[in-house]
Amino acid sequence: MSTLIARIVNNPVLLLWIAGICFIAGLASGGSSAWWLQGLRLDALQGKYDTFVARTESLGKQAQAKAEAQELVDKLDKEKRDEELQKALTDNTALNKQLRNERNSSRGTVPQVRGTSADPERACLRRAELNTAIQRYFAGRGTRDNRVWDLITKGDDSRIALDAAKKKVQGIR
């Protein structure tokens, strides 16, 4: 046995072979256990990742469905408000035509507020002052100018559009 040890110790190439074999054996035994342990960790993380991806996709689909439903509600609400605005503008135009037809009556240039008016305080101008101003404007002229009525109508249309915009903003909040 001593001769075997003496031969191994005296032969450096044999020592390198033995050291290399021991290194490979250690690497194989330690590496395989490390590989196995990392595989377990990877499997656990892969399961968590798959769960995360599935949950995220589910929440994304729910959010998309909710957004589409809200978009439909908003679209219907906008259409409804646009119809209301168009009806109000049409009613205003009809009222303007009626006022133009009645302006020659004995009641004055601007007729009094009807009893069916929802809120007479919402008028843009005071009727008495408007009537006086229009009569003064036309006092020196032989004819009445439609530009004044157009200005009044545009102002009222603008007020109606502003009210519609306010309702829209209140609906968003």
User: For residue range 120-138, what is the model confidence (pLDDT) as tens digits?
Assistant: 556 566 667 777 777 777 6
Q: What is the pLDDT of residue 133?
A: 76
The token duo for 146 is 């439609």
CA–CA separation, 172 and 106 (whole Å): 47
| Percent of the chain at pLDDT exceeding 90 | 18
Q: What gap in Å lies between CA 62 and CA 5, rounded to an integer?
A: 76
Three-state DSSP state, 32: helix
pTM of the model: 0.45
Residue 95's pLDDT band, with cuts at 50, 70 and 90, is: confident
Query: Residue 104's pLDDT is what?
Result: 53
Whether residue 120 contacts residue 113, with contact meaning beta carbons closer than 8 Å, is answered with yes
Q: Is 103 exposed, middle or buried (0-12, 13-18, 19+ CB in 10 A)?
A: middle
Reference 81, options 167, 158, 159, 172; nearest CA is: 167
Going by pLDDT thresholds of 50, 70 and 90, the confidence category of residue 106 is very low
